[in-house]
Structure formats: structure tokens, C-alpha cells
Structure 1
Amino acid sequence: MNREFTTVAVVGAGTIGLSWTALFAAHGLNVRVSDPRPDVAEAVSATLTELAPHLAAQGLDVDRIAERVHVAADVTEAVRDADVVQESGPERIEFKKDLFATLIRQAPQHALLLSSSSAIPATAFTGEIDDAGRILIGHPFNPPHLIPLVEVVPGERTSPDVVEATVAFYTRVGRVPVVERKEIPGFVGNRLQTALSREAIYLVEQGVVTPAELDQVMTNSLGIRWATVGPFLGAHLGGGPGGYRHLAEHIGRSMNQMSLGQPSQRPEAQQRLIEAVEAAYGDASYADLAATRDRRQLAVLSALDSDHTKEN
């Protein structure tokens, strides 16, 4: 069944929620924002101004973006007429249990109830909710107005129709939804990110490279490759004409003999790592570093989009 999406409630106006707000509004949706922070109106206004160039670079019309966003007095007002609710609150099970129990009562019965949860599966906070069929995870990567991926992770009781509608919604706002077939803490993206992060920390702890040098290794090799083909296709190509089979049967054997490291759990080791990262990047402000990241990510997205257009 096709659904119309006209109004979205964003519950939680932190970094993720504000980015969602700008994205939804730029796609012509009416957005209702709820957050108890006292400066929520100022934060929303500043974010829309700051992110407008990013959205315009993606071909979106941002001339009237602010007119589509309303700061609600509370959650009840925000979700009253919502077709979709995107929760982006704290990563705490008890918080989500209480909030989604409220959303079930206050949001329209047709509304999709989506959580930006980074690691907690929907089943973990919906066990006591009778009508859990329209609750699931819609986990973005930061910042969601730029990074296309949304991990769509149904709970044990999520309706298949709701999953289908959720995919349609995220596609409607220019994202790339990937439905994951099993719930697992951290989902797929963050588990991959954590695995890489562990080895990165280990290599720095062992004195193999500094944090800045490790970042150079990534941005000048795997980062470029994975932005275009991903690990499995990259490995398939790495096997030459013989493909993944050749890689697995030959190079893969020596790679499998390599044992990965385990970062230290000692507080003093963590403190040394923090100081090393701060020594590498602490002189630059968060705003400057984020602006550089976003500018480069836009350039990558533009190149990929241009290549995709040529292929079609």
C-alpha cells in the first residue's frame, strides 16, 4: 500500500536530529521538532542556515526550508499529525522504552515510529509495548543529511508492511536504505567501524604509527577504495581475473594467518591515546574539522553521482 508522507516529527534535537530536520525540510516535508533543551529554537535556526549550502549542493531547494520547520512545545504536539516519527534521543534503553510507549499513544495509528539508535535493537525496548508492529530502527550515519546510508532494522514484531513503507520513506528523502535481516547490537555499519577502530587503536598503542599517520593510510588507500566498491567487490577485483575465488585460495591464506591486536583496557593507555589524538588534531576547532570533512564528503558524493549518471 502506497503511503503519503507530508509531516515528520523529529524527537531529539542533537547533532543527528538537527541534521534529519534539515534533510526532511529540504525534501519538502513539514517537520515538527521536539526537544527539552532551552535553546532548541536557536539550534534549529542555526542548523538550517549552516546546512543549507550542503543541501543545495545536492540539488535540493532550500529557499523556503525554514518555513517548513516548527518547534513544538512538547512531544505530544510534535507527533500529533505525523506520518513519520524519527527519534534521535539518548542511547539508553529505559529512555527509549518510555518514549516509544508515549509515541504509541500520541502519534496517529498510521505513523511509522523510527529510532536513530546506533546500537540498541528495537526488540530491546519494545518488549512491553503491545503495538510494536510499527516500531523499528532507522539508523543513519553522521551526518544523515550527507551520508546516504540508513540501516533499516526491524524488531521481532515489526510488520513487513511497515518495513516496506520505511524503505519507501527513506528513498523519498534521497537516502539509501538497507534492510538487515537479523537484529544484532551495533547493526552492520557500527560493527564494521568498531572492528577497524580496535585495530587502529592497537597499531597506535604499539607505536607502529601515530593517529594522524593512520588516518593518512586510510584516506589514501582503503577510504578511496571503499567509497567506490566496498570490501567484497574490492576483494573480488583484488583477485584479478580469477576474482574472489583466486583471492581466497591464494592471498587469503596468508592474510588469515595474521592475528589482529587487542587494544589495552588500562586507563593509562586510554589516556595516552586521547592525548595522541589531541596532539594531532586539537589545534583545530570542531567546526573547522567538521567543515573540512563535509566539504570532502560532498565532493566524493558529487563524483559518485556524476559517475552513476553517466552509467545510466
Structure 2
Amino acid sequence: MFDSTKVAVLGAGLMGCGIAQVFASHKLSVFLFDPFESARETALSKITSGIKSTGGDISATQYVNVVSDIEAAVANADVIIEAVPEKLALKQEVFRQIQPFVKSTAIVTSNTSVIPIKDIFDGLDFQNQVVGTHWWNPPYLVPLVEVVESEKSSTNVIKNMMALLTFVGKKPVHVKKDVPGFVGNRMQHALWREAIALVNDGVCTAEDVDVVVKNSFGLRLPQLGPIENADLIGLDLTLDIHNVILQSLNADKSPSPVLQDQVAKNNLGVKTGQGFLSWNEHRIQKVRDDLNTYLLNVTQQRG
């Protein structure tokens, strides 16, 4: 059904290259666009590196055409995936640029982590063609893609995008309401808000927040989701716990003072060597290597 599907990926950064890798590894033709020569020059090496890390066949790169002409990238595409940085104005500009060249039958998607799809396509004429696709990093290792329905989505577009993602080995989930952060990031940042609040309020150290997560409920999460867990312990006990704890959980509508203070001091984490934790090159590389090894092992075990 999808063997002849042509895919355009707009943006050759880590996400764009990773998304291109997924489709190319299933022998689908990919046009990978980026306006910057430096990004285009390193795109195939990034994809090759990603394929090697999974033990895949590097001949898949033959299905990727890296281009500098955005019209050439999208004109014949059946599926268009925007993967530029997470800035609303930039994403809108990309879609304004391609609008005259897109086939009326093409599926048009934005890979965004938190921006509502309706905001990205506001004022643009892609009626019934639009859907959000939130891929997780790295795209070739993390199975989930959130398929976000918006006011400019059709049932057919949702169905076809879900089917295509399944064809290339992903685990798509239909997000039925176009809310900021969709499903995964809403839950993830609810956790981050509480974690940072615990540090801000002096309840525990930043290091111990991670120790607690990694050595308790974090171990269960790959096998036991929060709704399963609630059912497993009993909804009556869940209700009793919530009657006690919810009133004391952090509910701030703006970022924590300790987070704002760190950013003001240019303590940005890995990129500056200091955040809530201290970072050097060895520690950074070890964390990344350990994470990639873990994700690869998990995905291989799942088949």
C-alpha cells in the first residue's frame, strides 16, 4: 500500500535526519530539505551513523535525496513532515513557502513537541490535509508518534497517517484534541514541574530527585502505565491517596523561581556545563551512550 509513497522531510537537524532514516530504512523515497549548506553536508553522515547504531543496512541512504530547493522537495510528495526548530513563526513561514507547491492529496504534518497544530496552520489553506505528528528523540529508536487531530484534519488523513507510521514500524497514538503538549509532554512536564518544585522548596536535592525516580516507579513505567497502575492498586485506594496528596502538589502556572534563576545565571545544563547538576564531557557522553544502549535493547526485545 505504501511502497511507492514519497516523503518530504523539511529540516535536516537531528529530528529531521532521524525521521528520514525511519522512512528510508523501509525503502521509501525521501526528499530531505534544509536551507543551510552545513546541515545538508552532514545529513547523510547523521543518517548513516543512526543506521549503524541500530545494526541496520546503510544502503538505506540511497533512498534519501538531500536538496536545497524546497519546491523540489514537496512538489511530488505524498507526505510532508516539517521538522524545523520549535518556533511558531518559523514553522508558519515554512508552510507559507510550500503552500503553492503541495499536491491537494498530500498529507501535511508538523513535528512539534508542544505547539497546538491549529496555531501552526492558522491562516493557511491546507483544509483536510493537516495533522500533527509528534516524534520522540531519537526517532529511529523511540516507537511512539503522537498523531494529533486538528480542526483542519480529516478522518481519512488521520487514518492514512496512522497506517503509514505502522507500516514503518512506529507505534502511533491518535490524539483527539489539539491541546498544548498533546499527551506525552503534558504528563512529562507535569512530572518535571513537581520535580523542580521539590528542589525549589528544599524537600530534596536535584540529584536525589533522579535517584528516587530511577529506583522506584521509573522502573515500572515501561511495563505498567499510570492508568494500569491505578486499576491495579484499586481505584478506591487511588481516590484515598488523591484526597490527601493532590492539594499539596505544585500547581504553578509559571516556571519555578529556581528554574528561572538558573537560566538567568546562564546555568543551562549540558550546553554550559552547569544546570541543576554539573556536567563534563565524560559524563555527557556516558549519559547519552547509556540512554541509546538502553533504548536499543528495549526496542530489540520488543521486536
| Residue from 118, 121, 128 that aligns with 1:123 | 118
Distance 1:127 1:250, change over 3 A: closer
The structural deviation recorded for 1:97 is 2.3
Distance 1:76 1:248, change over 3 A: same
Structure 1: any 5+ residue segments left out of the alignment? Answer: 307-312
Structure 2: any 5+ residue segments left out of the alignment? Answer: none
The one-character-per-residue Cα deviations of 1:159-209 (angstroms, maximum 9, x if unpaired) are: 111111111111111111111111111111111111111111122233433
SS at match of 1:27: coil
Residues 55, 62 of structure 1: 8 Å contact kept: no
Residue correspondence of structure 1 range 90-109 to structure 2 within 5 A: 90-109=85-104
Distance 1:273 1:113, change over 3 A: closer
Residues 86, 113 of structure 1: 8 Å contact kept: yes
Residues 135, 158 of structure 1: 8 Å contact kept: yes
| Residue from 150, 159, 167 that aligns with 1:155 | 150
The structural deviation recorded for 1:88 is 0.4
The structural deviation recorded for 1:256 is 3.3
The structural deviation recorded for 1:302 is 3.0
* 1:17 to 2:16 alignment: yes
* 1:170 to 2:165 alignment: yes
Segment of structure 1 superposing worse, 40-49 or 129-138:
40-49
Segment of structure 1 superposing worse, 209-218 or 152-161:
209-218
Residue correspondence of structure 1 range 162-241 to structure 2 within 5 A: 162-237=157-232, 239=233
Cα separation, 2, equivalents of 1:212 and 1:265: 15
The structure carrying a bigger helix percent of its residues is 1
Residues 3, 165 of structure 1: 8 Å contact kept: no
The structural deviation recorded for 1:149 is 0.9
Cα separation, 2, equivalents of 1:3 and 1:172: 8
Q: Which letter maps to 1:25?
A: A
Cα separation, 2, equivalents of 1:71 and 1:118: 24
Distance 1:97 1:63, change over 3 A: closer
Cα separation, 1, equivalents of 2:25 and 2:5: 12
SS at match of 1:228: coil
Cα separation, 2, equivalents of 1:119 and 1:187: 7
Cα separation, 1, equivalents of 2:31 and 2:268: 41
Q: Which letter maps to 2:113?
A: S
Q: In the alignment, which residue of structure 2 is the partner of 1:289?
A: 287
The structural deviation recorded for 1:33 is 0.7
SS at match of 1:157: coil
Q: In the alignment, which residue of structure 1 is the partner of 2:107?
A: 112
Residues 151, 180 of structure 1: 8 Å contact kept: yes
* 1:268 to 2:261 alignment: yes
Q: In the alignment, which residue of structure 2 is the partner of 1:309?
A: none
The structural deviation recorded for 1:107 is 2.4
* 1:256 to 2:255 alignment: no
Q: In the alignment, which residue of structure 1 is the partner of 2:44?
A: 45
The structural deviation recorded for 1:253 is 3.0
Residues 103, 113 of structure 1: 8 Å contact kept: no
Distance 1:109 1:259, change over 3 A: closer
Q: Which letter maps to 1:264?
A: P
Cα separation, 2, equivalents of 1:249 and 1:155: 33
| Residue from 83, 86, 94 that aligns with 2:81 | 86
Identical amino acids, percent of aligned pairs:
32
| Residue from 294, 300, 303 that aligns with 1:302 | 300
The structural deviation recorded for 1:104 is 2.9
The one-character-per-residue Cα deviations of 1:65-123 (angstroms, maximum 9, x if unpaired) are: 12111111221111122111111012222222232233332122222111101111221
The structural deviation recorded for 1:283 is 4.3
